Structure 1
Amino acid sequence: MKLLATLTLSGSLLLAAGPQATAQKAPSPYQTRFGVDAPISLGLGAVSGVGLYLIQQKTSLTEADIAKLNKNDVPKFDRFVAGNYSESAQTASDYLCYGSLVVAPGLLALNSDIRARYGQVAGLYLQTMLATDAIFTMTVGNVSRYRPFTYGSDAPISKGTSVIATNSFFAGHTAHTATATFFAAKVFHDFNPDSPAEPFVWGAAAVVPAAVAYYRMEAGKHFLSDNIVGYALGATMGIVVPQLHKTGRRAGLSIVPMQGVNVNGFSYGGLLLTKQL
């Protein structure tokens, strides 16, 4: 049952990947340039590395700190999760999350038009995941929020006194899963805008990270608000990054450097962004 959502996404994309004409290679809806996108991806990877370093430098809890924790200090919106702990739920969330990171983009290769441009799609997927990861690691590295299991007595003390016990905000599993599934749905839509399978693809894309979020709460890893933020961020990155690479979206858009002196005699400089409406 823990893989039901992933299988749903698989079935949706398989349904959409029926026989198609291959006589002519369809144009890609995306525009990418190695000289631009490679440095961006490397930069995002570097930011992720800094975030991981900050996470490792965080101060862990002591047993005395854990003893002072009170569920009533948790906002009412999240309180129902405080004290949860389940290793089986954690395992289920791991399977769903890590499986989706491979399955979701992998299924895109079943579509002949996407398969013909899969190198470009894979590069976009990497950049999209790195964007999510950079935001995630930097946030977790700078924000300390105790995980729900620290408010209960079921989790081993060793877990509560580990640095990971302060990494509740925000839900990384949910964020990365949403990035993978919504990216797959967005790419499928851009290559097949009139496909009758679209409602199933988007529906499956929404269900998988929601299932991960549920198991992360059951496992006592994240509060509801942590998962909402993770879900929203992941879905946004999965859609926005490919959209920023769409061909034709730059029509009427220009970015030019500008500088000058204002009425007070102070010089200024920057970029001027204009969009033709």
Structure 2
Amino acid sequence: MTKKQNNRFILFNLIIVSFVIIGFVKTMYSQSPVSDFSFHPYRINYWVTGTILGVGATTNYLGIGAVLNKEEVTPLEIQTLNKGVISGIDYWALKQDPSNMDAFENYSDYTVAVSVLLPVLLLFDKQIKQDWFDMLLMYMETMSVTTNIYEWSFLGPTFQNRLRPVTYYDQLTYDQRKSGNNRNSFYSGHVATVAASTFFMVKVYSDYNPGIGDNKYLLYGAAIIPPLILSYFRVKALKHFPSDNLVGIGVGALCGIIIPELHRLQDKNISLGLYSSSEVTGIVIKWQPTFF
């Protein structure tokens, strides 16, 4: 890829991201704001959230060490790789130009850096701005949970050792393919992080502005664009197969939606009562989540 093509590619993606940002801000200002500034849809328990952040930072430190310090991929493993077992949806990752992988890795790094800062746009909303500290804590909690699920769940690379697409390219030297980090293809933590950020942003804005109605689904549609762009970059960088990215989007989106929802539980969402019948008596807890 030439320098001129690189510049065009970067410009194209900047335009896409710009449209997402403009559309988000326009939607914010086109809706009638909530006039009652006592409206606070979330409840933050500082002791609980602080504990989660503290424990999360510790487990994240331990987890990232385990993920990044895996044994190198051996020459025998590379020699015995079988492209025939790769599914159709993932085989696209084995048809890339390895000479472009470094450039696309840089693009992916830039995309992550920009995307994790997108929730700053929420400060344009006066209602949200007054609760900025609580939102910061909740965002940090969301990112902590997302990262720890990546590192410690059975889906993540601590328990999975799927080799990255880069290991399948015979055009590359063994030194370029042997890193232990190349055992961390499944699933994409980068994509999960970006999805958590963008879906968190839309979830919070929607909860503070219930008057937008079904327009929130347009915002959720926009929220998936940055992780999709990043997914494309990660495949082109030979870091992930498409299925790795799809799982990352799913995990990140769920974290971005569920963590704020857990802080939104109020009397109308959860109720406690007694249940009695001829056979049993007990306590009933009823939860009616509104994730979207």
1:250-277, CA deviations, whole angstroms, 9 ceiling, x for partnerless residues? 53048xxxxxxxxxxxxxxxxx772278
Quick one: structure 1 residues 252 and 24, their matched pair in 2 at CA, closer, same or farther if it must change by over 3 Å? closer
2:73·2:177 contact (CA, 8 Å) conserved in 1?
A: yes
Output one character per residue of 1:197-219: Cα deviation in whole Å (capped at 9) or x when no partner. Answer: 53442222011111111111122
Query: Out of 14, 17, 21, which is 1:3 matched to?
Result: 14
Does 2:229 match 1:211? yes
Give 2:43's match in structure 1, choosing from 31, 45, 54.
31
Partner deviation per Cα, 1:227-258 (whole Å, 9 max, x = no partner): 1110100000000000011042553048xxxx
Deviation at 1:106, TM superposition (A): 0.6
1 CA distance for matches of 2:151 and 2:189? Answer: 9
Contact 1:186 1:238 in 2 (8 A): yes
Q: CA deviation at 1:82?
A: 2.4
Residue 191 of structure 2 corresponds to which residue in structure 1?
174
Partner Cα distance (1:183, 1:234) in 2: 9
Aligned ranges 1:28-67 → 2 under 5 Å = 28-67=40-79
User: Aligned runs of 1:263-274 on 2, under 5 Å?
Assistant: 274=285
Give 2:120's match in structure 1, choosing from 106, 110, 130. 106
Aligned-partner residue type, residue 275 of structure 1: K
Given the alignment of the two structures, is residue 82 of structure 1 paired with residue 94 of structure 2, yes or no? yes
Give 1:193 deviation, angstroms.
Answer: 1.6
Secondary structure at the counterpart of residue 131 of structure 1: helix
Distance in 2 separating the partners of 1:182 and 1:240: 10
CA RMSD in angstroms comes to: 2.4
The superposition leaves residues 91-143 of structure 1 with CA deviations (integer Å, 9 ceiling, x where unpaired) of: 222211221001x2111111111111111111100000110000112221221
SS in 2 for 1:17: helix
CA apart distance, 1:154 = 4.1
Q: Identify which range, 21-30 or 37-46, moves more after superposition.
A: 21-30
SS of 2:285's partner is strand
Percent identity between the two aligned chains = 27
Deviation of the 1:152 alpha carbon: 1.0
Q: Cα deviations across residues 61-84 of structure 1 (Å, max 9, x unaligned)?
A: 133432322211323332221253
Q: Could you tell which deviates more after superposition, 240-249 or 123-132?
A: 240-249
Corresponding residue for residue 252 of structure 2: 234
Q: TM-score, normalised by structure 1?
A: 0.85
Moved more, 51-60 or 208-217: 51-60
Counterpart residue type for residue 214 of structure 1? Y
TM-score of the pair, normalised by structure 2 = 0.81
| In structure 1, distance between residues paired with 2:206 and 2:84 | 45
Partner of 2:205: 188
Instruction: Tell me the secondary structure at the aligned position of residue 198 of structure 1.
Output: helix
1:183 and 1:42 mapped to 2: Cα distance? 21
Q: Which whole-Å CA distance do the structure 2 matches of 1:88 and 1:41 have between them? A: 34
1:148 aligns with 2:165: yes
For 2:284 and 2:108, the matched residues in 1 are separated by 42
> Which segment drifts farther, 184-193 or 210-219?
210-219
Which stretches in structure 2 are left out of the alignment for 5+ residues? 1-11, 274-282
CA distance in 1, matches of 2:210, 2:287: 25
Q: Deviations over 1:35-63 (max 9, x none)?
A: 11111122222222221121133211133
What code does the residue aligned with 1:100 have? S
Alpha-carbon separation, structure 2, partners of 1:46 and 1:66: 34
Q: Following superposition of structure 1 onto structure 2, how do residues 235-274 of structure 1 map, counting pairs within 5 Å? A: 235-248=253-266, 250-253=269-272, 274=285
Instruction: Indicate the residue corresponding to 1:257 in structure 2.
Output: none
Question: Counterparts of 1:5 and 1:158 in 2: how far apart (Å)?
Answer: 36
Retained in 2: the 8 A contact 1:182–1:238? yes
Shift of 1:22: 8.8
Tell me how far apart the structure 2 counterparts of residues 209 and 129 of structure 1 sit (CA, whole Å).
Answer: 15
In 1, the alpha carbon distance for the partners of 2:193 and 2:78 equals 29
Deviation at 1:147, TM superposition (A): 0.3
Partner Cα separation in structure 2 for residue 95 and residue 273 of structure 1: 49
